[in-house]
Amino acid sequence: MLVPLGHRLLVKPEKFEEVDELYAAAKRAGIHLSDLDARKEQVAVDRGVIVSVGDTAFKDFGGVPWCQVGDKVAYTRHGGKLIKDPEDNVEYIVLNDEDIIVRFDTSKV
């Protein structure tokens, strides 16, 4: 498992087909993007779920975390680093704590 270091967070991004209804409909119809195009579109996704939090995350901001493991969040669109976990081949994004811009309050939905 990947472990974020310092002030970083590990986020599992939503899949592009979960976010874009047109892409999902095209995929169901048998139309597929090339691997390169699909990769470019996935990079544009800016929402995901917090998987892990580094030891010093939020310390520079008073130490009070504004999100925790399991929270659904939005983050800066081109922030972070995409990385695949070699154990399960799942792609994650590693973000700075300040790159988290919204926490979705799912208790009100």
Q: Domains for the chain: give ranges and CATH numbers.
A: 8-14+46-108 (2.30.33.40)
Token couple for 20: 């874009």
Identify the sign of the CA torsion 84, 101, 103, 41. Answer: negative
Question: How far is it, in rounded angstroms, from Cα 71 to Cα 53?
Answer: 11
Token couple for 106: 């799912």
Q: 34-57 burial by CB neighbour count: b if 16+ within 10 A, else e?
A: eeeeeeeebeebbebebbbbbeeb
Q: Is the confidence at residue 17, as pLDDT, over 70? A: no
Q: What is the pTM for the complete model shown?
A: 0.76
* Mean of pLDDT values over 89-102: 93
Q: For position 28, what pLDDT does the model report?
A: 80
Length of the chain: 109
Question: How far is it, in rounded angstroms, from Cα 88 to Cα 96?
Answer: 23
Q: For position 19, what pLDDT does the model report?
A: 64
Question: How far is it, in rounded angstroms, from Cα 25 to Cα 46?
Answer: 20
> pLDDT tens, 44-92?
668 999 999 999 999 988 878 999 999 999 998 878 898 999 999 999 9
Place of tokens 């994650």: 92
What are residue 103's DSSP bridge partners? 73
